[in-house]
Amino acid sequence: MDINIRKATDKDFPAIFGLITELAEYEESLDKVSNSLELMYKQKDYFNCYVAETEEKEIIGMALYYFSYYTWVGKTLYLDDLYVKEAYRGNGLGTRLMDKMFEVAKAEKCKRFRLQVLNWNESAIKLYEKSGFTVDKTWYNCDIEDL
């Protein structure tokens, strides 16, 4: 299977939003998605994305990320979503997208590469640990939404 990993463009936003929706369904949290395609276009300067694309130009995976600053370490690449359509899993595509994120983090001289994973998502945890991540079970997420 010939899959191209490339930087996403605005034209890819509908497919990316479709993957975001699929991921939310997989995580049983579709009701929590308040983002929209229109909002993605308005806020496109706040995130970056690489997509995995078939020879037929179908987008089947993504790695959506942004840069942040953490006081203890400095510039950080935060991988918000790594997702591969179910039919394409198990072929190393997640690893290829993760490798691209490492490449970006190094090129951008990031001091940290961070992500979150649900505690029940064993396949993702295995991928992240295989990639060298330490899964920290100490911290809790604290959010306020709809400001």
Answer for the pair 51, 39: CB distance below 8 angstroms, yes or no: no
Q: What is the rounded CA–CA span in Å between residue 21 and residue 112?
A: 28
Q: In what order do the strands lie in the sheet with 59-70?
A: 4-7, 48-53, 59-70, 74-84, 112-115
Q: Which amino acid is at 70?
A: Y
The helix-helix angle for 122-130 and 93-107 (nearest 10°) equals: 50
| β-pair partners for 61 | 52, 84
Is 128 labeled as catalytic in the residue annotation? Answer: yes
Residue among 50, 78, 83, 128 flagged as catalytic: 128
List of residues 6+ apart from 116 with CB closer than 8 A: 141
- Residues serving a catalytic function are 128
